[in-house]
Structures are given as structure tokens and as C-alpha cells.
Amino acid sequence: MTKLNSEQDFLTLIDKYFPSENGHVTLGRGDDCSILRSGTDLCISKDLFLEDVHFRRSYFSPADIGYKALAVNISDIAAMGGQPCGFALGLIIPPSLESEFWEPFFQSMSALAKQHGLILAGGDLSGGQYLGISVTVWGEAAGGRFLSRGNAVPGDILFLHGPAGMARTGLLALEESGTKATDFYPECVQAHLRPPMRVAAGIKLAESEHVKGLMDLSDGLARDLPRFLGCCEGSLGARISLDESQLHEEIIHYAESKSISAAEHAFLGGEDYALFGAASADGFAELKAKIPGLHQIGTITGDNKILLNGKEYTAGGFDHFSK
């Protein structure tokens, strides 16, 4: 591969993998701004993906980094019940990073973008001490409406589309054992490195009148459940049931090896990128029949307490700024 010696070298490589215009972007990269065409509301989100904060190059391949940097943003659109349309990409590039890094990085990111119909509208490049990726993504309400957090009442069903705890297991195993973790926890490692996207499920959830609210499970149930309840009216609580029959066998194996509770480990979670929401009790059976993989994990209560398997849970979950 030719050495990347200039900003134009990077832009040329980006152009190799990402088209510049389509029906949504009418003036593409290369000008001061791109021009977007949209006759409807858009939802928009941004996430940072920073070396040694969100990933380590010791066990993330360049392709894994490219995939996940975009995936965590697509997940936000899925959580609104939206269809991703486009994104802007910012890169902080350390001088020590070899040129061979970038081909698989862009190839993986562009494949995910193509899979979900996103166009790269523009972005920015800068040198810096550590590798950093900033993505701004936007989408349309393909399910007829955008879903937001909250809006639930006592008696509503709490559900997940996707697992809780697998990515946490993969992360902790990778931190302890590096790439050898794949030998013992292959599916959990994959869940951390390349979480599957749930755009189609999000759209189907938005199409249903039974769904009250939705969010993506990025910081784990222990942190995201209180956030969800905080968006509801009144002081609500929840009864959560995480039986071992609902948990992946690798989670149970990891918990046993550490002599910890598998349920509490899964509840802490983090980086699951599952869809977490609430639906009316009378419509949940119909909803579950229409969306494979949807499963109940609890109910909304009116007592301002969170119970996990019958016991009150008061510990907090992940927070970037907590000590």
C-alpha cells in the first residue's frame, strides 16, 4: 500500500470506499458543506470512539475499529425506530499509525454503511497523539414515527431485543487475556468487537402502537434502566427477572470462574447495543410474535424501586466520569 503522507492521500483512500453523492446527498464531499435533501424529520446523533477509552488496538483489529465506530452510531438510530441515511466522519490520526491500518478500517466501515444504506456526507481530519473517531449519524422515521425513551406506566412490559451481558463478558475477558480470550469466550468477544445492528427490529417496533418507548442498551441495564424510568412521568420502578436460562452459557461460565452472580454481571452489562423498551401488557404477545428475538425481562412498577430477581438493586452502572 502507498504510504499516506498527506490529507489528500487520506481523502483519496476514503473516496475509494465511500460514494460521494446519492439521492439523499446532492452535493457531496469536497466542498465546505454537503447538501442533504429530505422532506421529513430527521433524528441525529454523535458518538466518539477513542483509543484506550473505548477500544485498544492490542485486541481490536483495524477492521473491528472501523466496524464498531460506525455501529455504535447506527444503534442510536435503530433505538429511535429510524432508518439510517448518512453520516459524517472525523478522524484524529497519530503519526505512529502505519498506513496498512487504513485499508481494512475503511473497508469494514464502508461494508457496514452499505449494508444499512448510509452515505458518507463529509467530515474532517486532524493529526493527534491517539487514534480517535467521531461519527455524526442521521436517519428518517421509516416506521412512521420516532420512538423516544420513557412514556411507560406501571404494568407495562420491559423487553430486550438482543442479549444483556455478553459484551461485558467479552470486554473483561479481553482485558484479562488479550486475543486469547477468543479461545474461551468466542461469542462474547465477538459481541464486544462487532455488536450486531438491530435496525429492522427498531423499525418494526416503531410500527407497533403497543410500544411505549425505546432506547439502545449501551451502558448496561444497571445504568440505562434508571435513565429510561427517569423519562417517564412519576416515580416509577421496575421488577427485572434475569434467570440463568435467559443468559448465554459463556456468561454463566465466566461468572462461575469469578465466583460472581451471573445475573448481576449481565445486569451491569455495558456495550450490549441491544434494544431496550416498554410495551403495553395487552399487546406484548402480538409484538413478540411479529419480532423474533424479542423477550420480556420485567415490568414497570409504581414504587420507585428496582428489583433484580426479587432483591432491591441500588448499585450504579457504567459512567465515563464516575470515580
Residue 123, strand partner residues = 89
Distances (CA, A) of 190 to 69, 185, 242: 15, 9, 22
Distances (CA, A) of 268 to 139, 222, 304: 29, 5, 19
45 annotated ligand binder: yes
15 annotated ligand binder: no
Angle between helical axes of 7-17 and 102-115 (0-180°, round to 10): 40
Domains for the chain: give ranges and CATH numbers: 7-140 (3.30.1330.10), 157-311 (3.90.650.10)
32 annotated ligand binder: yes
Q: DSSP class of residue 162?
A: S
Question: What's the mean pLDDT when you consider all of the chain?
Answer: 92
- Listed in order, strand segments (DSSP E) in the chain are 25-27, 35-36, 42-50, 83-93, 119-127, 132-140, 157-161, 211-217, 237-240, 274-279, 294-301, 306-308, 311-312
Question: Alpha-carbon distance 26 to 22, whole Å?
Answer: 6
pLDDT band at 31 (very low <50, low <70, confident <90, very high): low
124 annotated ligand binder: yes
pLDDT digits (tens, 9 = 90+) for 90-133: 999 999 899 899 999 999 999 999 999 999 999 999 999 999 99
pLDDT digits (tens, 9 = 90+) for 208-250: 999 999 999 999 999 999 999 999 999 999 999 998 888 999 9
218 annotated ligand binder: yes
170 annotated ligand binder: no
pLDDT digits (tens, 9 = 90+) for 140-185: 999 888 999 999 999 999 999 999 999 999 999 999 999 999 999 9
64 annotated ligand binder: no
139 annotated ligand binder: no
